[in-house]
Amino acid sequence: MVRKKNFHGLKKIRIRQSWNKFNLYNLSRLRQPFTLPRTFFQQKWTAKAETRAYHGEQIRERQWTRMFNRYIPAVVPMDAKELAEDDGSAQGAGRGSGKDVDPKASMDKAKGKDGKIDKRKMKAGPKPNEITPYMSMTFYPTEKRLDTAIFRALFASSARQARQFCVHGFVKVNGNRMRYPGYLLNPGDMFSVDPDMVMFATGDKKGSGGAAASAVTSDPDADESAVDAKAADEDTIFDEAWEDEEDNATESQEAKESDREPAKRSEQEDLNETSAEELKAWKKELLALRKEIKQTATETVGLKAKRKQELRALYKQIRSQNLTRIARQSLHEYKSTFQTIKNLITNPSKGFDKSTPSTPEPITSKTPTEPDYDDPILSNKRRLERKNPHLAALKAWPNKPDPTKPYATPWRPRDFMSAFAFIPRYLEVNQNVCSAVYLRDPVARPGLAEVPSPFHPETNQLAFQWYLRRR
Amino acid sequence: MGSKATSLPSPTYIFRFAARPSTQCLYASQCQSRQFTVSLPRQRLTRNRRKFYQWLNGVGQNFKQPREGRTNYLSGYGADGAQRGGPSVGKEAEGTEEEQGDGEEAAAQVEGEGEGEGKEDAKADEALKPDEMERAEAETEEKERKASLREERVMERDKNKKPQSTRDLRPFPLNQHFLSQAVLSEEFREEIYMDIVESKKTVRSVSSDWGVSMERVGAVVRMKQMERDWLRQGKPLAVPYSRAVLSMLPITPLVDKAKEQREADKAAKNARDGNSGDKRASRESQPHEPINDLPVHPHTTQQLFYPVSESRAFTRADAGRAFHPKLRPTDERIPHPELIALEQLKKTTGNLAVFKQGVIDGDLASALAKANEQKDIEKQTVKTYAGHKWDFKFHDISVEKVGKTGRSRAGVGWRYGMPHEDRKPGQVKIPVRVES
- C-beta atoms surrounding B256 within 10 Å: 18
Distance from CA of B315 to the nearest CA of A (A): 4
Which pLDDT tens digit goes with each residue over B290-313?
A: 999 999 999 999 888 999 888 888
Look up residue B288 and give its DSSP letter: S
CA distance B284 to A19: 31
Residue of A nearest to B154 (CA): A374
Cα separation, B252 vs A432, whole angstroms: 18
Q: Which residues pair with B399 in a beta bridge?
A: none
pLDDT at B136: 55
By the 10 Å C-beta count (0-12 exposed, 13-18 middle, 19+ buried), A299 is classed as: exposed
The answer for residues whose C-beta is within 8 angstroms of residue B23's C-beta and 6 or more apart is: B31, B32
When CB atoms are compared, the residue of B46, B66, B298 closest to A418 is: B66
Under a CB-based contact definition with an 8 Å cutoff, are residues B71 and B248 in contact?
yes
Q: What is the C-alpha to C-alpha distance for residues A177 and A191, in angstroms, rounded to an integer?
A: 9
For residue A376, the chain B residues in CB contact (below 8 A) are 151, 154-155, 256, 259, 284
For A12, B301, B330, the CA distances from B323, given in Å and listed in that order, are: 48, 9, 12
pLDDT at B43: 58
Q: What is the residue-averaged pLDDT of chain A?
A: 78
Residue B156 has pLDDT above 50, yes or no: no
Beta strands in B242-369 (DSSP E): 250-252, 293-295
Q: What is the pLDDT of residues A101-116, one digit of tens each?
A: 777 777 777 777 677 7
Residue B405: the pLDDT is 82
Q: Which residue has the higher pLDDT, B286 or A33?
A: A33
Q: How high does pLDDT run on average in chain B?
A: 75
Higher local confidence (pLDDT), B367 or A350: B367
Alpha carbon distance B97, B286 (integer Å): 14
Q: What is the largest CA-CA distance in chain B?
A: 100
Inter-chain touch B183–A429, beta carbons under 8 Å: yes
Q: What does DSSP assign to residue A177? A: E
Contact A248, A240 (CB under 8 A): yes
What are the φ and ψ backbone dihedral angles of A101, each rounded to 5 degrees? -105, 135
Whether B319 sits inside 8 A of A92 (CB atoms) is yes
**Contact check, Cβ <8 Å, B190/A390:** yes
How many of the other CB atoms lie within 10 Å of CB of B5? 15
Sort B242 into a burial class: Cβ within 10 Å, 0-12 / 13-18 / 19+. Answer: buried
Q: Which residues in chain B are closer than 8 Å to A88, comparing Cβ atoms?
A: 315-316, 319, 330
Q: pLDDT confidence of A4, banded at 50, 70, 90?
A: confident
pLDDT at B142: 61
Contacts of B284 in chain A (CB under 8 A): 376-377
Q: pLDDT band at residue B101, thresholds of 50, 70 and 90?
A: very low
Q: Is the pLDDT higher at B259 or at A293?
A: A293
pLDDT digits (tens, 9 = 90+) for A233-286: 333 333 333 333 333 333 344 334 334 433 333 444 444 455 677 778 888 888
pLDDT, position A318? 80
A59: left (phi over 0), alpha (psi -120 to 50) or beta: beta
Q: Which residue has better confidence, A2 or A139? A: A139
Instruction: Kindly identify which residue of chain A lies nearest to residue B184, measuring between CA atoms.
Output: A428
Share of chain A above pLDDT 90, in %: 47
User: How does residue A397 score in pLDDT terms, banded at 50, 70 and 90?
Assistant: very high
Q: How far apart are the C-alpha atoms of A135 and B129, rounded to whole Å?
A: 63
Per-residue model confidence (pLDDT) at position B21: 44
For position B244, what pLDDT does the model report? 95
Distances (CA, A) of A145 to A162, B25, B220, B433: 11, 49, 21, 12
Please give the pLDDT value at position B179. 95
* Least confidently predicted of A42-51, A190-199, B161-170, B273-282: B273-282
For residue range B368-416, what is the model confidence (pLDDT) as tens digits? 888 889 888 888 889 999 999 999 999 888 888 888 887 787 888 777 7
- Chain B CB contacts of A79 under 8 Å are 292
Q: To the nearest 5 percent, what fractions of chain B are helix, strand and coil? A: 50, 5, 45
Does A450 have pLDDT greater than 80?
A: yes
pLDDT at B221 over 90: yes
**For chain A, the helix, strand and coil percentages under 3-state DSSP, each to the nearest 5:** 45, 5, 45
Q: What is the mean pLDDT of residues A35-47?
A: 93
Q: Is B247 helix (H, G, I), strand (E, B) or coil?
A: helix
**Residue A249 gets which letter from DSSP?**
-
Interchain contact A80–B (C-beta under 8 A)? yes
Question: Are A452 and B219 within 8 A, CB to CB?
Answer: no
Nearest CB among A218, A363, A421 relative to B115 is that of A218
Question: A70: which chain B residues are within 8 Å (Cβ-Cβ)?
Answer: none
Binned at pLDDT 50, 70 and 90, residue B116 comes out as very low
> Hey, where are the domains in chain B?
2-58
Better pLDDT: B259 or B12:
B259
Q: Is the pLDDT of residue A451 over 90?
A: yes
Q: Is the pLDDT of residue B130 over 90?
A: no
Select from B49, B61, B64 the residue whose CB has the most chain A CBs within 10 Å, as the one to mutate to test that interface.
Answer: B64
User: Residue A379, CB half-sphere, CA atoms under 13 Å: how many?
Assistant: 22
A297 or A399, greater pLDDT: A399
Is the pLDDT reported for residue A401 higher than 60?
yes
**In contact, A431 and B220? CB cutoff 8 Å:** no
Q: How far apart are CA B242 and CA B247, in angstroms?
A: 8
Gap between the Cα atoms of B299 and B322, Å rounded: 10
SS3 category, B393 = strand
Closest-CA residue of B relative to A353 is: B236
Work out the percent of chain B whose per-residue pLDDT is above 70. 66
Contact between residue A22 and residue A441 where contact means Cβ atoms under 8 Å apart: no
* Contact status, residue B404 vs residue B415, Cβ threshold 8 Å: no
CB contact under 8 A, A421 and B176: no
Residues facing residue B385 across a β-bridge = B392
> What is the interface pTM, i.e. ipTM, of the complex?
0.70
Q: Do B115 and A395 touch (CB under 8 A)?
A: yes
Number of Cβ within 10 Å of residue A52's Cβ equals 19
B343 contacts on A by Cβ (under 8 Å): 80-81, 83-85
* pLDDT the model gives residue B40: 63
Say what the pLDDT of residue A125 is. Answer: 53
Least Cα distance to B61 among B11, B4, B3 occurs for: B4
pLDDT digits (tens, 9 = 90+) for A78-106: 999 999 988 888 888 887 777 777 777 77
The rounded radius of gyration (Å) of the Cα atoms in chain A is 30
Alpha carbon distance A424, B399 (integer Å): 43
Q: Does an H or E element contain A430, and which? A: strand A427-430
Contacts of A429 in chain B (CB under 8 A): 183
